[in-house]
Structure 1
């Protein structure tokens, strides 16, 4: 054990016999404590960032008020936390496009408008007034290896961040 050797080298010269039976037991006990401490510190170091926080993801999710979808993988949960960390705020279409791009998606967001006399023409779609609060999100490009679950994670991120009166319809 390297810790054992380091502790022995710290003994005052001539005061103790580094290989004596009593001192060897004490040094071994101290070395085991340092090994445990090293393991705990390694776990704490891993918990400092959501990408390395395997055992502490629940704490990160609690901190950012994220509820993972049932069956979400560790990677999807970690990605949701990273997305929440990276957000600088905003409700614009460009903000949500950048958010999707950061997750590896290319999207188009359409905002259908209700039919208005003087602005719309014959042949335009007839929508109700409430349509102004709907975003139609088209996924144009997915990241390599994406699954339906990762698409659902993107939808969940949008639902968490969108304005309360807006409905995101993924098409």
Structure 2
């Protein structure tokens, strides 16, 4: 919108020479300032939603307590902000399933009960070999049905000693659970 043209029409032609060189120059300077103001107002209006906030997404992340990582794709960052905004509270399995669904994931959660002899597969709990069985009562397996299982294989010349032979996972859903799960629980992930 050209505010300069609007400004020229606001002044009464009897009092001002609306075709004068200085008058037109002043209207163009003031109009350009109003044009910039209009653009900024539209930009600020777009920040109301994380999806359209562009460069201001970092402010959404700051408010939600999320560390800004500019190396991640924009859509991934937006999903993380939306998940954090939807996470108003709750500790139940249906709550976590609804939150995951709101950011586009279909998951299943299995809560194990060692007191009823319901334990994860031996390979899944190998890291807890020396832990008492009672401490495994707070373990969840989150099965991600439609995740982005980024598989990275160990390759000679590209990988280093000590790295796993295969690493996989979906950072969006895994970080979401790490941030929101109850502090006393341990979550591990399976992908289908």
* Pairing 1:137–2:120 present: no
- Which residue, out of 159, 175, 179, partners 1:160? 179
Task: Give the corresponding residue for 1:91.
Answer: 91
TM-score by length of 1: 0.84
* Structure 2 unaligned blocks of 5 or more: 126-132, 151-167
* Structure 1 unaligned blocks of 5 or more: none
Task: Give the corresponding residue for 2:67.
Answer: 67
Question: 2: CA distance between counterparts of 1:111 and 1:7?
Answer: 67
Task: Give the corresponding residue for 2:106.
Answer: 106
Number of aligned residue pairs: give it. Answer: 164
C-alpha root-mean-square deviation of aligned residues, in Å? 2.6
CA contact (8 A) 1:108 1:137 kept: yes
CA contact (8 A) 1:61 1:67 kept: yes
Task: Give the corresponding residue for 1:41.
Answer: 41
Task: Give the corresponding residue for 1:6.
Answer: 6
Partner SS state of residue 169, structure 1? strand
Alpha-carbon shift at residue 100 of structure 1 (Å): 1.2
- Quickly say closer, same or farther: Cα 1:170–1:70, change in 2 above 3 A: farther
- Once superposed, which parts of structure 1, at least 4 consecutive aligned residues long, lie more than 4 Å away? 124-127
- Quickly say closer, same or farther: Cα 1:156–1:125, change in 2 above 3 A: closer
TM-score by length of 2: 0.76
Alpha-carbon shift at residue 70 of structure 1 (Å): 6.8
Question: 2: CA distance between counterparts of 1:140 and 1:77?
Answer: 21
- Quickly say closer, same or farther: Cα 1:150–1:83, change in 2 above 3 A: farther
Alpha-carbon shift at residue 108 of structure 1 (Å): 1.0
Question: 2: CA distance between counterparts of 1:17 and 1:44?
Answer: 37
CA contact (8 A) 1:91 1:163 kept: yes
Task: Give the corresponding residue for 2:155.
Answer: none
